[in-house]
Structure 1
């Protein structure tokens, strides 16, 4: 009998450890974004961390994302791993509208609430998440198109520099942009070209577009790394200020391009608000509260005229 005591004690310790780990996981809010290598998503992280100080309840936060937005399989694995360790809730910015649906369904089947931010998933998965917080990307795309038409007129040639084909935000944003252009002008659209959210790729693509289209009047860069690459290409080719450029998002590089006139305007989302409201919302669901199915986190068109005003300073990062 004495020989059994160490084994029983060891078993008890193991059970306590497993129970403690399960309890810790049950309080974990896993925030999974499209990539960690972007100041936009790093600003989402700041918002999430701020929310953690507000919600109370002993929750913990984990934040992760793939090396690039095109690494969709990696993001799927991150969601599945969060489900397997039985986290309390997930805040997710899905990189692909279809590929993430099975993983989100697994969370639903495991009674783990999911709050989406930034990008939507396909209709087949709508019952599996509790809330969607994002910019109305179609509306934001329209605002960018209007800003370009206001500056270049309704005839001529413009280019669209996009990011990941098929991403929920890209479908709405570039779709809204092109629809508005076609319905409200006779502008010819070159593209879209897909940078895979890689700045260097966007720079090379824009350089090629500018070279092969010397009569280009305007250009739209549809997300942060794409708009930065576009801006750098305009500067390097001597086209800055001569080709009217509208960007998207608002990090330090893009703010500099607005100030020096490389960009006529950039549409800035509430990235901090996405992280903050995402964590707040999933914490409410974890507490059994009802939440709205969709929340528009807004967009501000930033120009040289308003870049120092509160409306812009509140969203720039």
Structure 2
């Protein structure tokens, strides 16, 4: 799949919008996510593919994303190229709430329906897309804070390991977490530290935070690569089970960290559902059917106690 994505990106960069127009496919649904190098977004793709198969008919699907979540300009180019080649609809996970607005506006001007998933665009852009499907990130951040307080209590020091500053999901998720901590405890917050969604960066940052704060009682890793790097640093420091760590998302690595006690809990989004409902929703829009403006795709707190239960298995990937 990565080879296909690379080829699509290369054609967009090398040949630009004019060539892209000539390669347009009738009924193409373009799914464009923050990065292809993450199992979270690969699970979104699985949901999108499943929805396309269920729908049948003449629509085709393309799946693209930059090499990293911080490559915002690349994602903007992908949306603009999709508009230029006249796709039937776009499902987009915007990596930046402001930078993607002009490209989405171009889609609106071209009468191409857009469904936003995972992260919200900036206020004022609501008219340019027809539906927003996502975890209520503020609620999910609050769930993470509750899980941490349940284990560490209401006093002491905790750290926040975040990802891309200003991303719509980050604002809601980390904002919900910190606001809940401040409202329901006297815990001191160190950070947030921004990994740019790079696992190695999160590992190094967490190693430094643990060394600089030997009295740290808890720590929160706010997305998949950040939480993995955080957990690996905790394990390398010999602090598994000695510091309460809560992660976010639910790939195989994070599940293993829950099972071995490195992570007390992970907050898991319905990533498959985002892809599935995203394609289902844009397909309805293509048929001129009405859709909901916002759909909460939910989040589940997964711990060692419930990781093998249906409620967790339905969201883990």
Alignment TM class, shorter chain as reference:
over 0.9
Match in the other structure for 1:165: 165
Alignment of structure 1 residues 31-180 onto 2, 5 Å: 31-180=31-180
Structure exhibiting the larger radius of gyration computed from Cα positions? 1
Distance 1:219 1:247 in 2: 8
Aligned length: 298
Distance 1:147 1:54 in 2: 37
* TM-score where L is the length of structure 1: 0.93
SS in 1 for 2:25: helix
Distance 2:77 2:121 in 1: 17
Shift of 1:23: 10
Q: In 1, are the aligned partners of 2:24 and 2:85 still within 8 Å (CA)? A: no
CA RMSD of aligned residues (A): 1.2
User: CA offsets per residue over residues 60-111 of structure 1, 9 Å max, x none?
Assistant: 0000000000000000000000000000000000000000000000000000
Q: In 1, are the aligned partners of 2:162 and 2:193 still within 8 Å (CA)? A: yes
Distance 1:23 1:149 in 2: 53
Unaligned regions of 5+ residues in structure 1, if any? 1-20
Distance 1:246 1:60 in 2: 39
Runs of 4+ aligned structure 1 residues displaced above 6 Å come to none
* TM-score where L is the length of structure 2: 0.93
Shift of 1:124: 2.0
Unaligned regions of 5+ residues in structure 2, if any? 1-20
1:311 has 2:301 as partner: no
User: CA offsets per residue over residues 14-38 of structure 1, 9 Å max, x none?
Assistant: xxxxxxx879634000000000000
Distance 1:239 1:24 in 2: 53
Distance 2:25 2:213 in 1: 55
Note closer, same or farther for the CA distance 1:242–1:23 as it changes in structure 2 (3 Å cut): closer
Alignment of structure 1 residues 156-235 onto 2, 5 Å: 156-235=156-235
Q: In 2, are the aligned partners of 1:35 and 1:67 still within 8 Å (CA)? A: yes
Q: In 2, are the aligned partners of 1:22 and 1:86 still within 8 Å (CA)? A: no
Q: In 1, are the aligned partners of 2:133 and 2:278 still within 8 Å (CA)? A: yes
Distance 1:22 1:70 in 2: 30
Distance 2:275 2:241 in 1: 34
